[in-house]
Structure 1
Amino acid sequence: MKYYFFSLSLLFTLVLGGCKSMLEKGNDQFLSGQYQYAINTFGGILEQDSTDFRANQVMAESYRLSNRIEKSEPYYRQLVEQEPSFNHYFFLAQSLKAQQKNEEAKKAFESAKQYTSDEALLARTQREIESIKLAEGIENYWPNHVLVNYQELNTPGPDYSPVVSENFLYFTAGRQASGIYPATGTPYTKLFRTRAEGVRVDVGGIQALPEFRNEEGLNQGAIAISPDGNTIIYSRGNSTSPKDLPENALFASYFRGSGFTQPIWMPVNEDEFWWNSTPAFSPDGSELYFASNRPGGYGGIDLYKATKLANGDFGNAVNLGPTINTPGNELFPRMAPDGKFFFSSDGHPGYGKLDLFVAEKDENGTQVIKNLGENFNTKDDDFGIFFTEYPKTGFISSNREGGVGDDDIYYFEDKTPKPKIINVLLNVFAKETKEDGSDSPIPQTRIVLYGSDNKQQGGDFSNANGRVRFTMAPESDYTIIASKNGYFSKSVPYTTKGKTPDPATLIQDVTNVTLDTTIYLDQLILEKSIVLENIYYDLDKADIRPDAAIELDKLVKILADNPSIRIELSSHTDARSSDAYNLDLSQRRAQSAVDYIVSKGIAADRLVAKGYGETQLIIKDAQTEEEHQVNRRTEFKVIEIKE
């Protein structure tokens, strides 16, 4: 990723002296941005004297300015020994950080703070220290995404910044180069394409970009293609010709009739001395994101957004703000269809140099930045994410160790294990209990299944065996309602929680678990009395006791399940005490039971309270307490069925 931080404008000036022939040559090379040539020249001087201050200074700065700061450590160490300063310690710390020598980096940053009183520099240094600490707690954003080096696509030179448009993969590479870029000593880069289907690429069909011709003697950089395929925008620069533009800039080519136009300099660059690169379109093509070092930013390179104008150009570029941009460098923007914003940065907490990040909103609507984690990022440069199927598959670029060459293209895929599917097959049987105690199926019973959201999940009529089968989800709650003319309707809760195996223990992709349950229905016969068991009252009282309330709640449910019935609720006493007393007591008890049922939401006009006293004894000559208890009972009967 050496092609995005360079500027041929001077960042500082060295005054070199002594050994004029080599020093002047190296100085000229350095000041003209030919960093690799300067490294070669001053490397020869250091072979003679490893402590030469000026040579160490040029070597350190050349590696830093050509985005190889990790190689600058020994030279900055010499500088801090000979001339300790904020810059020397700060850049030494950045070199150590890029190598993940975090403890040493923190010490160097702390040392840098001793050589400045500038609040902005102190704040930036403290941010770097905090960044190292925060990086220790990074979690993988997509823990099951796996990256693979696309070895068949990559070459020993640079290959990076892939994008896919209309079944073609476009990327930048150093293959077929006609010259060497003096800043890095690597080939100039050009644009290429080949056919692709998702992340599957035709590596045998790679050709130089056919839409327009690559230029010689400069770097063609990152490319963006509009969603409709009619506009190509790419970065271009690093020419050594004095007649060319002095900086890296964005160029655009438009499809007109039979082909693409020759690329033209875009007005969004605004100033030919500003560095602009790594373009990307929004999903709808109405906005252009890019990186720039233009004035007014928050650090080295910031990310900007420009809006498409009426004439088709892009303008009114605005900085994306301090949440995304840092005092470091932010590049390679990518807006996802769901509004998440991906980019690369060396300013947010990460593993070393450029890492991949995402900006998304939390539950409060606040934008937060998250590192994609160590399955995407390394201590080296990781950048240029592009999705072929968001967010499951796509490409990134990286110069991490173990690659084929310099920058390599990697593809990623979501390898989340397919969940083990458990189908719960529930057999629901509708039955009734005969007088002899045997069970009998009830065919043609309407049985309906409802989910916990009260939405119907299924329903059918029972077969000759009284059965209906439902497919249900594991670890879920349901309600089953059974109804048939001539029977009380009944609703019963049912849960599959705890009734299925742990998916982690399963081998098969799909497992069926069969369960059974039975719903017993009672015949609905007008004027047939049904005894409510366990309805007890205290002596000479009509108050509903807690144990009686439990039984009355069952009657409440029957009434709720059968809204068309009207009942009489009756109370009976034994033969002890006077007729008048028993009649009054039973009426009070019946009314108390009705009042309780009404308090549970049942309409009062659906109930009639009736006290029969001792007029309907079941055992007329009761002698024992058990026999008296049989006579002391609470009953209900259906007295009306509304149509």
Structure 2
Amino acid sequence: MKQRFLWISVLILWLAGCKSLQEKGNDQFLSGQYQYAISTFTQILKQDSTNLEANRMVGESYRLSNRIEKSEPYYRQLVEEEPSFNHYFFLGQSLKAQQKYEEATTAFEKAKSYTSDEALLARNQREIESIKLAEGIENYWPKHELVNFKELNTAGADYAPVLSEDFLYFTSGRQASGLYAATGTPYTKLFRARAEGLKVDVGAIQALPEFKNEDGLNQAAIAISPDGNTIIYARGNSTSPKDLPETALFVSYFRGSGFTQPIWMPVNEDETWWNSTPAFSPDGAELYFASNRPGGFGGIDLYKATRLANSDFGNAVNLGPTINTPGNEMFPRLTSDGKFYFASDGHPGYGKLDLFVAEKDDAGKQVIKNLGANINSQDDDFGIFFTEYPKAGFLASNRADGVGDDDIYFFEDKTPKPKIINILLNVYTKEAKVDGSEAALPQARVVLYGSDNKQQGGDFSNTNGRVRFTMNADSDYTIIASKSGYFSKSIPYSTKGKTPDPATLIQEVTNITLDTTLILDQLVLDKSIVLDNIYYDLDKAEIRPDAAVELDKLVKILLDNPAIRIELSSHTDTRSSDEYNLDLSQRRAQSAVNYIVSKGVSADRLVAKGYGESQLIIKDAQTEEEHQTNRRTEFKVIEIRE
């Protein structure tokens, strides 16, 4: 009997203790001390793992303190004993945060049967669709690599990096003045270190000198205006009952010799609204921030406020449903090219907060793109800041490979530097001798033109007749050589197909030397030059296609030498009457001139002359070959205009 009485007494004391723990945990939960509530309700679950209220409170505490991935076992217990839309929905979110996509989809599908609320069903369907879309995400910057900045990070939280005037500013739990009861992590303060791009002097980190960090609360994300004269940061979670009830934006201005004491910003509008993660536009005229104020599209939305005449910011406007979702959007970053970067857990991603960019497509419509797996993880990824846009910068993440809680990472574009191919072209100028030989022609002016007809270079050939040009691979050029007393000549030149594939090269720089030659003919007045292969059909003067090919060469000479005027002559053999041959040759010469004019040569530069059989080369021609020699077309320069 005595033993039974003792057992009953112990049971009564234990039940009384449980009730006390329950009340204590409820008070902690309601006051936002989620980590303490987790600890309290965990004690109850050690005695009774099926306690629904304790499971609910632990699951909700993890969810509300942004650790929903840890809430899975508690929501599983709830859906077994007390199935509801919320329990299945939050279980699905927990599974999704762990990238257990198949199980998450099953949980979201089951949630549908526990509500008829269209808004809840739409949000649930969005989660299902986001899982499907996440499977097709491509890396926005395929060659970017992300590295944990281990020397900068601590075991606590380090996040929200911002570079301003050779200093990296960031939020950190180092030098904490207590623990934040919601998460059980150290309160955060603002710090800075000298920096040049990604190079940070981690040995000289100091607390923010512009104004004093406050104890017993979180100083969070910071923004600094482009001119460095305005600092805006988030401040909240105070342990004092006399302080503000919610996180709010505070501002400090540079006045004279220093910064003012931070003050609460009117853009917060209501002390009970959560406002945080500020960022300036590149010109400083706009302030972007996150808020849970009424009228949004979900838990936390992004807003934009404009600078007023008194340097404050007001008229906050929601950024709309393309960017904002039923989930959470925060840590905005507008870049100079108009792209908008932000963190979200509502758009299709890998788990919790991912980094996204809003940009215009070809049709001018704003589209949202996940930055991909080389930037994002299944954990929180947020707070991007560019030191060299878009090639390098910082961001924060609490992914598994970190040093502590939230860590600062840096990223760089690791696209391999292209192999350099230097193409050197030796252009040799030569002159054609009477005996058919060729000789170097010095002091010829050689000019190189690109495919856009703009001059790329020019010089006089040396004693060896050489000029050297530097050219680009896979490019088309025109080379023109000229010298007084010689016909100018132009030739097309292409480097396409004349260089190796850069992918096959080992050396960073490869030099390729190419050669080409331009042969110039002497320009002598009244010296006849025979145009080979100019044939006409019997008794006809029309230009045949094969003759047109040869006449095009003369067209080019005339275009290359705009100062010359020529006589184009036609000659026949003796096998018709003198009168007939004279008429035929005149018609043929004129036909050739007409063809040349049709190609863009001015008619006043051409004289058509038919000589019939009056200028035979072989006077007593007998063979067809000898007659063909007499049937010829010639031209000679009759004038050189200044």
1:61 positional shift: 1.4
Instruction: Tell me how far apart the structure 2 counterparts of residues 517 and 112 of structure 1 sit (CA, whole Å).
Output: 77
Instruction: Tell me how far apart the structure 2 counterparts of residues 130 and 545 of structure 1 sit (CA, whole Å).
Output: 70
Q: Which residue of 2 aligns with 1:9?
A: none
Verify: 1:356 aligned to 2:337, yes or no. Answer: no
CA pair 487-118 structure 1, distance change in 2 beyond 3 A: farther
Verify the 8 A CA contact 2:18 2:44 in the aligned structure 1. Answer: no
| Structure 2 counterpart of 1:536, one-letter code | Y
Verify: 1:173 aligned to 2:195, yes or no. Answer: no
Instruction: Tell me how far apart the structure 1 counterparts of residues 140 and 133 of structure 2 sit (CA, whole Å).
Output: 15
Range 367-376 or range 257-266, more displaced = 367-376
1:20 positional shift: 2.8
Q: Which residue of 2 aligns with 1:450?
A: 449
1:603 positional shift: 1.6
Instruction: Tell me how far apart the structure 2 counterparts of residues 554 and 135 of structure 1 sit (CA, whole Å).
Output: 63
Structure 1 residues 360-400: Cα deviation after superposition (integer angstroms, max 9, x where no partner): 22333332222222221111111111122222322111101
What does residue range 322-401 of structure 1 map to in structure 2 within 5 Å? 322-401=321-400
Q: Which residue of 2 aligns with 1:11?
A: none
Instruction: Tell me how far apart the structure 2 counterparts of residues 544 and 280 of structure 1 sit (CA, whole Å).
Output: 75
Instruction: Tell me how far apart the structure 1 counterparts of residues 540 and 79 of structure 2 sit (CA, whole Å).
Output: 98
Verify: 1:519 aligned to 2:518, yes or no. Answer: yes
| Structure 2 counterpart of 1:637, one-letter code | K
Q: Which residue of 2 aligns with 1:22?
A: 21
Instruction: Tell me how far apart the structure 2 counterparts of residues 177 and 189 of structure 1 sit (CA, whole Å).
Output: 6
Any gaps of 5 or more consecutive residues in structure 2?
A: 1-15
Instruction: Tell me how far apart the structure 1 counterparts of residues 64 and 541 of structure 2 sit (CA, whole Å).
Output: 94
Verify: 1:295 aligned to 2:294, yes or no. Answer: yes
Instruction: Tell me how far apart the structure 1 counterparts of residues 281 and 498 of structure 2 sit (CA, whole Å).
Output: 48
User: Alignment length, in residue pairs?
Assistant: 627
Verify the 8 A CA contact 2:219 2:234 in the aligned structure 1. Answer: yes
Verify the 8 A CA contact 2:589 2:609 in the aligned structure 1. Answer: yes
Any gaps of 5 or more consecutive residues in structure 1?
A: 1-16
Instruction: Tell me how far apart the structure 2 counterparts of residues 352 and 397 of structure 1 sit (CA, whole Å).
Output: 15
Q: Which residue of 2 aligns with 1:134?
A: 133
1:527 positional shift: 1.4
| Structure 2 counterpart of 1:344, one-letter code | A
Q: Which residue of 1 aligns with 2:285?
A: 286
Instruction: Tell me how far apart the structure 1 counterparts of residues 257 and 557 of structure 2 sit (CA, whole Å).
Output: 78
| Structure 2 counterpart of 1:224, one-letter code | A
Q: Which residue of 2 aligns with 1:569?
A: 568
Range 396-405 or range 409-418, more displaced = 409-418
CA pair 638-119 structure 1, distance change in 2 beyond 3 A: farther
1:416 alignment partner, SS class: coil
1:422 positional shift: 0.8
Verify: 1:188 aligned to 2:193, yes or no. Answer: no
| Structure 2 counterpart of 1:619, one-letter code | I
Instruction: Tell me how far apart the structure 2 counterparts of residues 321 and 619 of structure 1 sit (CA, whole Å).
Output: 93
1:18 positional shift: 12
Verify: 1:256 aligned to 2:263, yes or no. Answer: no
CA pair 555-122 structure 1, distance change in 2 beyond 3 A: farther
Verify the 8 A CA contact 2:432 2:522 in the aligned structure 1. Answer: no
Range 122-131 or range 499-508, more displaced = 122-131
Structure 1 consecutive aligned stretches of length 4 or more whose deviation exceeds 6 Å: none
Verify the 8 A CA contact 2:343 2:354 in the aligned structure 1. Answer: yes
| Structure 2 counterpart of 1:482, one-letter code | A
Verify: 1:275 aligned to 2:274, yes or no. Answer: yes
Instruction: Tell me how far apart the structure 2 counterparts of residues 70 and 195 of structure 1 sit (CA, whole Å).
Output: 36
What does residue range 456-471 of structure 1 map to in structure 2 within 5 Å? 456-471=455-470
Structure 1 residues 465-496: Cα deviation after superposition (integer angstroms, max 9, x where no partner): 11110001111111111111111111111011
Structure 1 residues 528-581: Cα deviation after superposition (integer angstroms, max 9, x where no partner): 111111111222222222111111111111111111112222222221122222
Instruction: Tell me how far apart the structure 2 counterparts of residues 297 and 602 of structure 1 sit (CA, whole Å).
Output: 73
Verify: 1:421 aligned to 2:420, yes or no. Answer: yes
1:619 positional shift: 1.4
CA pair 109-539 structure 1, distance change in 2 beyond 3 A: farther
Verify the 8 A CA contact 2:423 2:511 in the aligned structure 1. Answer: yes
Instruction: Tell me how far apart the structure 2 counterparts of residues 169 and 258 of structure 1 sit (CA, whole Å).
Output: 21
Q: Which residue of 2 aligns with 1:145?
A: 144
Q: Which residue of 2 aligns with 1:505?
A: 504
2:114 alignment partner, SS class: coil
| Structure 2 counterpart of 1:390, one-letter code | Y
What does residue range 197-216 of structure 1 map to in structure 2 within 5 Å? 197-216=196-215
Structure 1 residues 484-522: Cα deviation after superposition (integer angstroms, max 9, x where no partner): 111111111101111111212222222111110001111
Aligned-residue sequence identity (percent) comes to 83
What does residue range 29-178 of structure 1 map to in structure 2 within 5 Å? 29-178=28-177
Structure 1 residues 25-77: Cα deviation after superposition (integer angstroms, max 9, x where no partner): 22222122111111112222222232222222222211111111111112222
1:88 alignment partner, SS class: helix
1:19 positional shift: 4.9
Q: Cα RMSD (Å) of the superposition?
A: 1.7
1:234 alignment partner, SS class: strand
1:172 positional shift: 0.9
Instruction: Tell me how far apart the structure 2 counterparts of residues 640 and 113 of structure 1 sit (CA, whole Å).
Output: 95
CA pair 259-590 structure 1, distance change in 2 beyond 3 A: same
Q: Which residue of 1 aligns with 2:549?
A: 550
| Structure 2 counterpart of 1:396, one-letter code | L
Structure 1 residues 409-428: Cα deviation after superposition (integer angstroms, max 9, x where no partner): 11222222222111111010
What does residue range 213-252 of structure 1 map to in structure 2 within 5 Å? 213-252=212-251
Instruction: Tell me how far apart the structure 2 counterparts of residues 79 and 624 of structure 1 sit (CA, whole Å).
Output: 113
Instruction: Tell me how far apart the structure 1 counterparts of residues 128 and 626 of structure 2 sit (CA, whole Å).
Output: 88
CA pair 266-544 structure 1, distance change in 2 beyond 3 A: same
Structure 1 residues 67-105: Cα deviation after superposition (integer angstroms, max 9, x where no partner): 111111122222222233322222222111111112222
